[in-house]
Structure 1
Amino acid sequence: MTLDRRAFVAAAGTIGASTLFGPYALAQPTGAPVKVGGTLALTGPLASPSLIHKITGELYVEALNKRGGLLGRPVEWILKDDQSKPDVARTLYEQLVTSDKVDLLIGPYGTGNILSAMGVAQRYGKTLVHHTFGIPNLAKYDQQFHGWALGPEPEKAIPAALFDALAASPRPPKTIAVVTSKFPSVHFISQGAREVAKQRGITEVLFLEWDFGNRDFGPIAARIKDANPDLLFCGALGLEGNMLLDALKKIDFKPRHHFYQLPAPGPMVKAPEADGALSITIFEEHPPFTDNPVATEFVRAYRERATRANLPDPSVETQAAASFSAWQILEAGVKGANSLDDKVIAAWLRKNQVDTIQGRMRFNEKGNFGADYNRIKQVQNGKWVTIWPQAYAAPGAKLQVR
């Protein structure tokens, strides 16, 4: 179920906004810190998007402590480098629970690493809030909660949103090439895109897979050019989309429409050959998203911090918004339950909804997923802008076709 613009603005308005990311507490936090443990891919192929999540988490914890922390106590984020490897993430989450004795868990980046963290959380009865898990039917643990409103069937919802957006094109795609990393979530959604395309009467002219971590996209680009699709649906993760675009540029080919599931947003938006590229989004730096004063303040703070960190694009978009929402969910769960007891927090979240900067989130469908807030964005003039649905489009923005 999607959220209309008026309901979205109304939900945003319910979030306290008197200070940095929320209302001030009457007293500053005291006592032993509440320890939140987690990992991110600070090195390895997932490092680029993980830096976005690191900056977001740091900002959120700083602001949370200015607002009184959790249950009157300051919050400390214990962050470790999982090196983009699920087996390393599993070991580190074991350490966080058993050696570091953290009170709460926040998830890593990426479906594979989150699945590893989820197994550890289940073994110790810990609640896990995460932000980038793309396969709801694998989320079988009832104390895990997702901060990205993909809906319970993203393998259908994401391609459906894309095809609905492309229906506005003067020449909607009749043929599609689906190329994808074998990374679990993007591969899963790419397989879904094949089925949805078939249902929409769009002819598949190429299906091709590569191993996660591949850096040679020349042969893949050549196969795409030979297939000459109207639409390139790319299950790319991080910098894979940029590497494919560069390979396509070298052989002078660009499909009329091209879509990338989870690109590294800054590097892609800065690449001239990415003009017109499409992707999924839940938040961009324009109204109505920025009608929410909490979101507006986060955009300001994030832009300042990301600029200092020399990120290619310091703007807030899907990755930062999903990460921010995960922290909002964790905070709401603790404060709503008035407890650090993992089972009590999980029970509260399953029964309640949480207002986030992407919309009101619920956790009552498959895998504790709920609302579907998938929207489509496009690179236009060096910026990501939402172009569908129209109610969430940037002022004056609409689908551009080469």
Structure 2
Amino acid sequence: MRSLKRVAAWAAIAAGSLGLMAAGPAPAQSSDPIRIGSTLALTGPLSATALVHKLVGDIYVDDLNSRGGLLGRKVEWLVKDDQSKPDVARTLYEQLVTSDKVDLLMGPYATGAILSAMGVAQRYNKMLIHHTFGIPSLAKYDKHFPAWSVGPKPEETVPTTLFDALAASPKPPKTMALVTSKFPSVHFMSLGAREVAKKRGIQEVLFLEWEFGNRDFGPIAARIKDANPDFVFVGNIGLEGNMLLEAMKKIDYVPPLHFHLYPAPGPMVAAPEGKNALSVTIFEEHPPYTDNPVAAKFVTEFNKRAKAAGFPYTKVEVQAAASFTAWQLLEAAVTATKSFDDAKLADWLKKNQVPTIQGVLRFDRGNNYGDDLMRIKQVQDGNWVTIWPKEVAAPGATLKM
């Protein structure tokens, strides 16, 4: 269900029954903390986005501890830098389980690292909640749970939502250039978008790929300009989209419409070239999302800390919301089961729906995925705002050309 009326009702229940981000006296804590281990891409090409996830985790853990922690035990979050490398993430998750002996795991950022972490979790029968895994068909472990609500077949449903938004515009595109990174989840989604566009009768005038880690986007920008499409679909992650837009600027080319799959949210919105950029979202900092009191409190705290940290974009958007949701799922499962046992937590999540700031999540469809709650947003007047579907769009917001 895309309507946020039901979400707001669920959120009110969550705030009251689970204590999520709620004020109140903290119960007495035992002397032994609960240790939660994870990695994040604190350095490397994914760091611009992973740092958002780090800030969100710090906010959530601080709030948890102010409310007495989990089941009255203080929470310690042990975070290691996987350097944006899946093989490093695999080694570090092994260390977290075997050497550091953490009680629970929280997933890293990006599909490759999450897949590595999932393999370790499966080896040791640990539950893994994660927030940005983009290829559901590869997530075959029965104790993994995605906070990124893309549904079991995002390669079909996500681009369908995008092209629905474009079809509702005053001038729907007839031609498309699709350029994409070979980063696994990005490439997977981009190939799905090709098929959806073809079924919609949109002519593909250019298809190009680049290796993840590429920094020379000049030739790609030139090919796009020569193709002269109505719409540019950019399968990017992190700062790749910014580098491509900068390369376009150097040759005096401005794409008429441009979509970026997984951009670094701050740098994209801050760049003049990012004007009118489109992307996917599950949450943006405006009504009706912020009508949820849990979300509103989180927004206030994130704004303050992001500004203090010098973030280029200090508002809550899709990355921050996905990370917050992951922590909500963990707290909900622990609170409901009154347990830290991985098997009990996983069993509860499979059988129950969880209200979160992005919507109500469930895990009873393919490979523990649930509904596709993805929406479309656009950079407008220096902010990301949801424009589609209409029932979750920012007040007065429509697609700008």
TM-score interval, smaller chain = over 0.9
What SS does the aligned partner of 2:267 have?
Answer: helix
Residue 43 (structure 2) pairs with residue 47 (structure 1)? no
User: Is the 1:16–1:23 Cα contact (8 Å) retained in structure 2?
Assistant: no
Q: Name the structure 2 match of 1:399.
A: 399
Give the aligned partner of residue 21 of structure 1.
21
Correspondence for 2:59: 59
Give the Cα separation in 2 of the matches to 1:11 and 1:388. 22
1:356 positional shift: 0.6
Q: Deviations along 1:25-79, whole A, 9 cap, x unmatched?
A: 5514232000000000011001100000000000000000111211211100000
* Separation (CA, whole Å) in 1 of partners of 2:170 and 2:371: 31
The equivalent residue for 1:272 is 272
> Hey, what does 2:81 align to over in structure 1?
81
Deviations 1:291-310 (A, max 9, x none): 01110010010111111110
Output aligned runs, 1:3-402, within 5 Å. 3-16=2-15, 21-22=21-22, 24=24, 27-401=27-401
SS in 1 for 2:201: coil
Q: Give the match's secondary structure for 2:69.
A: coil
Q: Are the structure 2 counterparts of residues 94 and 372 from structure 1 closer, same or farther at C-alpha, using a change threshold of 3 Å?
A: same
Q: Give the deviation of 1:8 after TM superposition.
A: 2.5
TM-score by length of 1: 0.97
Q: Which moved more, 1:361-370 or 1:315-324?
A: 361-370
Q: CA deviation at 1:177?
A: 1.1
Q: Equivalents in 2 of 1:11, 1:199: separation in Å?
A: 37
Aligned-partner Cα distance in 1 for 2:49–2:220: 23
Give, in angstroms, the shift of residue 267 of structure 1. Answer: 0.6
1:245-277 Cα deviation digits (max 9, x unpaired) = 111111121222110011011111011111110
Q: Quote the Cα distance in structure 1 between the aligned partners of 2:76 and 2:50.
A: 19
- Tell whether the 8 Å contact from 1:275 to 1:379 is kept in structure 2 after alignment: yes
Where structure 2 has 5 or more consecutive residues not aligned to the other structure, the ranges are none
Q: Separation in 1 of the partners of 2:194 and 2:314?
A: 34
Q: Which 10-residue stretch deviates more, 222-231 or 10-19?
A: 10-19
- Contact preservation (8 Å) 1:28, 1:65: no
SS in structure 2 of the partner of residue 16 of structure 1: helix
- Larger CA deviation: 192-201 vs 66-75: 66-75
The 8 Å contact of residues 17 and 23 in structure 1, kept in 2 or not, is answered as no
In the TM superposition, residue 15 of structure 1 has moved relative to its aligned partner by 2.0
Q: Does the CA-based 8 Å contact 1:215-1:240 persist in structure 2?
A: yes
Contact 1:17/1:294 (<8 A) preserved: no
Give how far 1:17 is off.
Answer: 5.8
Distance 2:218 2:385 in 1: 29
SS at match of 1:395: coil
Q: Distance in 1 between matches of 2:243 and 2:386?
A: 24
- Residue 172 of structure 1: how far off its partner (Å): 0.3
TM-score relative to the length of structure 2:
0.98
CA distance in 2, matches of 1:114, 1:47: 15
For 1:114 and 1:26, the matched residues in 2 are separated by: 33
Is residue 176–residue 233 contact of structure 1 (8 Å, CA) maintained in 2?
yes
In structure 2, the residue corresponding to 1:22 is in which secondary structure?
Answer: coil
CA distance in 2 between counterparts of 1:26 and 1:113 reads 35
> CA 1:234/1:5 → structure 2, altered by over 3 Å: closer, same or farther?
same
Matched residues in 1 for 2:254 and 2:363: separation?
40
Matched letter for residue 191 of structure 2: Q
Decide whether the 8 Å contact of 2:36 with 2:103 is kept in 1. Answer: yes
CA distance in 1, matches of 2:138, 2:294: 32
Task: Tell which deviates more after alignment, 20-29 or 233-242.
Answer: 20-29
Q: Distance in 2 between matches of 1:90 and 1:25?
A: 39
Give, in whole Å, the separation in 1 of the partners of 2:317 and 2:28: 31
Offset at residue 136 of structure 1 (A) = 0.3
1:38 and 1:80 in contact (8 A); partners too: yes
Q: Secondary structure at the match of 2:150?
A: coil
Output the CA distance in 1 between the equivalents of 2:386 and 2:10: 20
Distance between the aligned counterparts of 1:243 and 1:271, measured in 2?
Answer: 10
Question: Residue 149 of structure 1 aligns to which amino acid in structure 2?
Answer: S
Structure 2 counterpart of 1:353, one-letter code: Q
* Conservation of the 8 A alpha-carbon contact between 2:232 and 2:257: yes
Q: Secondary structure at the match of 2:62?
A: helix
Structure 1: 5+ residue runs without aligned partners? Answer: none
Q: Given that residues 285 and 315 in structure 1 are in contact (C-alpha distance below 8 angstroms), is that contact kept between their aligned partners in structure 2?
A: yes
Match for 2:250: what amino acid? K
The number of residues matched between the two structures is 400
- Report the secondary structure of 2:14's partner residue: coil
Superposed CA deviations along residues 300-356 of structure 1, whole A, max 9, x for unmatched, are: 101111111100011000000000000000111111221111111100000001111
What is the identity percentage for the equivalent residue pairs of Structure 1 and Structure 2?
65
Contact 1:20 1:297 in 2 (8 A): no
Partner SS, residue 31 of structure 1: coil
Report the Cα distance in structure 2 between the residues aligned to 1:202 and 1:14, rounded to whole angstroms.
44
Q: Secondary structure at the match of 1:14?
A: helix
Further displaced range: 327-336 or 44-53: 327-336
